[in-house]
Structure 1
Amino acid sequence: MTRGTGRPLLATSLRSLKVRNFRLFAAGQIASATGTWMMAVAQDWLVLELTGDSGGALATVTALQFTPVLLLTLYGGRLADRYDKRALLTGANIASGVLALALGLLVTADAARLWHVYVAAAGLGVANAVEVPARLSFITELVGPGLLPNASALSGAYFNVARVLGPSLAGLFIQWSGTGTVMLLNAVSYTATVAGLRAMRPAELYRAPRPDTPARVVEGLSHLRTRPDLLTTLALVAAVALFGLNLPLTLPLMARVVFHTEAASFGLLTAALAGGSLLAALVGTLRRTRPSARLVAASGCVFGAMELITGWAPNLPVALALLVPTGFASLYFVQAANHRIQLGGDPAHRGRVMALYTVILQGSTPLAALLALAGARGDVPVPASEEERVRPTGSRP
């Protein structure tokens, strides 16, 4: 870096933004991801309001939203390897926007019931099963393999900017005008993603030749059997995701049941986690090569140690302080694993391999929700006077 200036380092960190298609993609994703995180806070808060702080209902919504990811994402990866990823992403974002709009209208009309939230969560899960593997594998088409680590890290950066902005804004909007307004804003945010996708220049995409025969899921799995380096990384991701990456479930319970706070404090907890993740994403923009297996394993161990310490936070200020390094460690691990898999796989199988990665990372959420619910010891809020309190157990970037 040139002495006295940070410009060369900044230019290195932002080099993927020189690609027009990626700039359009990133701009749309910032708006949409901010709305999505606002929606996540509003959805969880709505469930707690409708059920009298039921941890069981919250776990059910979480399971309904992520079970389609577990069951359908491999098929979504097959679609990503076979069809136009831009078209798949457009359709998935339109579907998600329609679901958010419908639920938001029900809430603002004071007609929302718990089963409406269940249906919307399941529908969003189906859309995500198509969107996530298409989006992860589409980044390579936007910038090419040479810029993939930087573009992927920038994607993590703007995603975590959204994680900071979204929950904070959601907490304010919920207090000002209710959860329905937040859901309607999320529905509008999807238009930015769709507009960015449709404004891209298809001729400038780095597309691999499409297979002459239909892409099959079993072929992607067979490819992994010949790659022990990828299998080992996926196994580690599975262990960390199942036992550690579940804060979307535990954070609202931590805010409302453990610390007895309102929506704004819940937003602060989520924002603290996201702030640490954002720092990790910015560090990741400097990566140029495929991470080693030792680096992936070490980052997973650090994350486990940090969330163990955070789980015993005695009060809200300490929890906020500890969630920052916990968020850093969680995203650093996830991105290192992501880059090791993407940069080590065959481009012809990338959609299906990243689909399996998504199944492991997100599809473990229903099982993690059940484990967290068992640890929470039921639906009844724990009184402030009791000596034993529910403790948080982890995070998901």
Structure 2
Amino acid sequence: MTPAAADAAAQDTPTAPGPARGRATFAALRVRNFRIYVTGQLFANTGVWVQNIALDWLTLELTHSPAAVGIAMALQFLPILLFGMHGGMIADRYPKRNILLVTQLCSASVAATLAVLTISGRISVTAIYVLAVVGGLVVALDNPTRQSFVGEVVPAQYVRNAIALNAAVFQTTRLVGPAVSSVLIGTVGTGWAFAVNALLYLGPTVTLSTMRTAELQPVHAIPRAKGQLRSALRYVADRPHVGWTIALVGVFGTFGLNFPVVLTAMASETFHAGAGLYGTFNVVLAVGSVVGALIAGGRTRTRLRLILVLAACFGAAQTLAAFAPNLTVFVVVLVAMGVSNLAFQAIANSSVQLWVDPEYRGRVMGLYVLVFMGGTPIGGPITGWITEHVGVRAGMAVCGLVPLAAALAVAAVLALRPVLARRREAAALAG
């Protein structure tokens, strides 16, 4: 089948034709290794949210600047921009489970260092920035490996459901993590939030170690060779449905998901509150996100049209949130943002993984992660500057309008493509 034929088929073909093929919302939990894997992610993701809230608030406390929060965000994701595809290439070359065991220990070390510096009173903005870069280097390898590893934990018919459930778990921990972080910040201090995160990394380390390796479905490792990154780029270029999805994900990640910048400022400046309200905002987003992830998990068809609709809905919701007249309306719209955000992310992620051949999955997901998370060094400072110098509502509005405009632009291009093709055909016949 040619790439063009695959393009059309992939968008209309169900990924699983019957109930045993993953129609049930929790179908992937039938697989023992996936249950173990998800258990580890509960610990790791809870710790991530505990640390994220603490780090954002600590940066704001030290600098009193939303722009500084944006810079800290940018530095976390700069290594992904530089090395994201290299991380995916390593994932294609080496056993993914072994890579993840190493990255868990590295992430725990970064969290422990933050804890020691903060508790001892030696923390500084410079230290935060340096550790943000170090943590970003770990994520540049961990994230594409983790994304593609799901396809080895479950059979192919459960991949979409497993990705959506993994996203639901991530967002469920968002209900717990911010609340725990807020309590720790308000009682024993920010440093202990980092210490808790370091301890929670024991969870995925133990569960990865106890998985039944004989039941995994590892992809044949590709040998080292020249041009492997270029071949992955050509592979994506030959599959427009994959390319458009990744491009839209890049815009989404660069401008749409700057929540640490805009939500900290909305909590402190617009609604004149503290870390507790910022944590509440994250919990509200998580409620909507869990719903969105579960909706995505029940999907059995892969359609680019749905991805565009969800991206546009998210952009519109964030734009509305920017101009919410009061806290109640803002919280209600945050739920809608969460639903559309995670439904978009889960369906886009699973679609790309199912559209590509397994031997390319690590590198393609490396590209996916690169554009999704690597754009933050661009979007984070821009959003922070707008938020600080123009206003928090303006900053949040930009974060909604850009993804909305991108979704509409891609939809327009796809709608015009058959019209232009017919015109070229008519011109050729006339000539």
Letter in 1 for 2:377: P
Task: Measure the CA separation in 2 of the matches of 1:316 and 1:174.
Answer: 23
RMSD: 2.0
Match of 1:34 in 2: 46
Aligned to 1:232, the other structure's residue is in SS state helix
Is 1:250 matched up with 2:262? yes
Match of 1:197 in 2: 208
Match of 2:157 in 1: 146
* Alignment coverage as a number of residue pairs: 379
**TM superposition shift of 1:15:** 1.9
CA contact (8 A) 2:93 2:223 kept: no
Gaps of 5+ in 2: 1-19, 404-431
Q: 1:212 to 1:79 in 2, by over 3 A?
A: closer
Match of 1:265 in 2: 277
Which of 38, 57, 80 matches 1:45? Answer: 57
CA contact (8 A) 1:41 1:170 kept: yes
Q: Deviations over 1:146-171 (max 9, x none)?
A: 10011011001100001121112111
Which of 361, 376, 390 matches 2:387? Answer: 376
CA contact (8 A) 1:254 1:390 kept: no
Map 1:300-319 → 2, pairs under 5 A: 300-319=311-330
Aligned to 1:392, the other structure's residue is in SS state helix
Aligned to 2:272, the other structure's residue is in SS state coil
Letter in 2 for 1:37: W
**TM superposition shift of 1:242:** 2.6
Match of 2:90 in 1: 79
Task: Calculate the TM-score normalised by the size of structure 1.
Answer: 0.91
**TM superposition shift of 1:391:** 5.0
CA contact (8 A) 1:268 1:320 kept: no
Which of 238, 246, 249 matches 2:250? Answer: 238
Letter in 1 for 2:295: V
Letter in 2 for 1:97: A
**TM superposition shift of 1:389:** 6.1
Letter in 2 for 1:13: T
Aligned to 1:343, the other structure's residue is in SS state helix
Is 1:89 matched up with 2:89? no
Q: Deviations over 1:174-201 (max 9, x none)?
A: 1111111111000001110111111111
**TM superposition shift of 1:211:** 2.3
Match of 1:342 in 2: 353
Is 1:392 matched up with 2:396? yes
Which of 170, 182, 192 matches 2:193? Answer: 182
Is 1:23 matched up with 2:35? yes
Task: Measure the CA separation in 2 of the matches of 1:211 and 1:262.
Answer: 50
Match of 2:233 in 1: 221
Task: Measure the CA separation in 2 of the matches of 1:259 and 1:391.
Answer: 15
CA contact (8 A) 1:258 1:390 kept: no
Structure with higher Rg: it is 2
Match of 2:13 in 1: none
Q: Deviations over 1:299-351 (max 9, x none)?
A: 11111111110111223232212100111111111112112211100110000
CA contact (8 A) 1:163 1:274 kept: yes
Letter in 2 for 1:217: L
Which of 350, 353, 372 matches 1:361? Answer: 372
Letter in 1 for 2:385: A
Gaps of 5+ in 1: 1-7, 383-387
Task: Measure the CA separation in 2 of the matches of 1:166 and 1:377.
Answer: 27
Task: Measure the CA separation in 1 of the matches of 2:117 and 2:255.
Answer: 35
Q: 1:201 to 1:389 in 2, by over 3 A?
A: closer
Task: Measure the CA separation in 2 of the matches of 1:297 and 1:33.
Answer: 28
CA contact (8 A) 1:56 1:378 kept: no
Task: Measure the CA separation in 2 of the matches of 1:297 and 1:230.
Answer: 13
Task: Measure the CA separation in 1 of the matches of 2:221 and 2:377.
Answer: 34
Task: Measure the CA separation in 1 of the matches of 2:364 and 2:124.
Answer: 38
Match of 2:299 in 1: 287
Structure with greater proportional helix content:
2
Identical columns (%) = 35
Which of 114, 128, 132 matches 1:121? Answer: 132
Task: Measure the CA separation in 1 of the matches of 2:91 and 2:373.
Answer: 18
Match of 1:60 in 2: 71
Farther off after superposition, 345-354 or 17-26: 17-26
**TM superposition shift of 1:374:** 2.8
CA contact (8 A) 1:312 1:391 kept: no
